[in-house]
Amino acid sequence: MNTGKNIAAAATVIIGQKVLPGREREFESWQENLNAAAAYYPGFLGAEISRPTSLQADWVVVYRFDSVAHLQAWVNSATRQTYLDVGAQYFDGPATQQVVSSGTQSLDPLVTVVVTHRVQPNQVDDFLDWQHRMVEEESRFEGFRGTELFRPIEGLQEEWTTLYRYDTAEHLDAWLTSPERRKVLAEGAKFSDFRLRTIDNSFGSWFAFEGNGKEAPPPPSETRTSLAVWVGLYPTVVLLTLALFPLHMPLWIGLLVGNLLSSFIMSFLTMPYYVNPLLGRWLRPPPDEPARAGLRGLGVVAVAMALWAVVFYLVTVRFWTLP
């Protein structure tokens, strides 16, 4: 879940936390309240909560601020410490934390791996050479989508942080388990003290792009996300059903083909060119957006669905009756 403005981040902190079994719902509610408190701090751009998946064992929380100074003010704030004292009852061990600072948003709707290294000052040049060798090798693997290296941030993080991305978990796993990677790791044995975290954002692509093609964080509400998918899914499925009907395919084949086509149409046409432009501000409201704006968004959803219902009623009942 995400709360925040629809603009790129200059400073991002990625926090991983193991949660005690059976306390997940309480933790998530506590984390949402903590994120809401962060929204009142200067420079806040957004916050996301990612549940554990097959790729990431921990809960992952991402905060974005417009500068390192503003991020540091939030991370070290008395407000956050007070919340952490309360939330300690849900934690299964200490959290991990990585900070990256960049002019562009650091995470995208791919599979992102975060690696942190502690590097001695007299080994920085060797570390950079070794990292260059690592990037050369991983870039040869299928699905590689880029990498970024971030220096330590004084007063906030002592580690070097590397982000690299692949388009699928399978392609990522091929690199992580490859002999090429093992060879490069062996070459950099003195940098073997590192932490690796995988963040699965692969299902965010329906809501990942602004009109100018830049990436944006997922919507702030699961309820709004579900309604937005509904707004796009209904016309997509009905139009596909009408288009495939003349083929008279058996039900099980028709559903198989229809689901495949609807997935592509939703990803590449319906969401980016219909739903996101229609509901973009409602899906990603600014923190100072008045409550009545949410009601306007619900009104847009209701009107859009009513119009589609009328159109399809006329098409399938008045003009063309399906068996």
Give me the residue label for tokens 């003010």. 73
The arrangement of strands across the sheet holding 44-50 comes to 2-4, 44-50, 59-65, 11-17, 96-101
User: 41-62: string of b/e by CB count within 10 Å (b at 16+)?
Assistant: bebbbbbbbbebbebbebbbbb
| 323 residues of the chain, pLDDT tens digit each | 444 443 344 678 888 888 999 999 999 999 988 988 888 888 888 888 888 877 677 888 888 888 888 888 888 888 888 888 888 899 988 787 777 765 444 444 567 778 888 888 888 899 899 988 888 888 888 888 778 788 887 777 778 888 888 877 788 888 888 999 989 888 888 887 777 777 665 434 444 434 333 444 455 566 788 888 899 999 999 999 888 888 888 888 888 888 889 888 888 888 888 988 888 778 766 655 565 667 888 899 999 999 999 999 988 888 776 55
Cβ(303)–Cβ(226) below 8 Å: no
Structure tokens belonging to residue 255: 């559903």
H/E stretch holding 98 = strand 96-101
Structure tokens belonging to residue 118: 């502690």
CATH 3.30.70.100 residue ranges for the chain: 2-207
Let me know how long the chain is. Answer: 323
Cβ(185)–Cβ(100) below 8 Å: no
Coil, strand, or helix at residue 142?
Answer: coil
Distance, CA of 176 to CA of 163 (rounded, Å) = 14
Rounded to whole angstroms, what are the CA distances from 231 to 270, 286, 309?
A: 9, 22, 11
CATH architecture for segment(s) 2-207: 2-Layer Sandwich (3.30)
H/E stretch holding 161 = strand 160-166
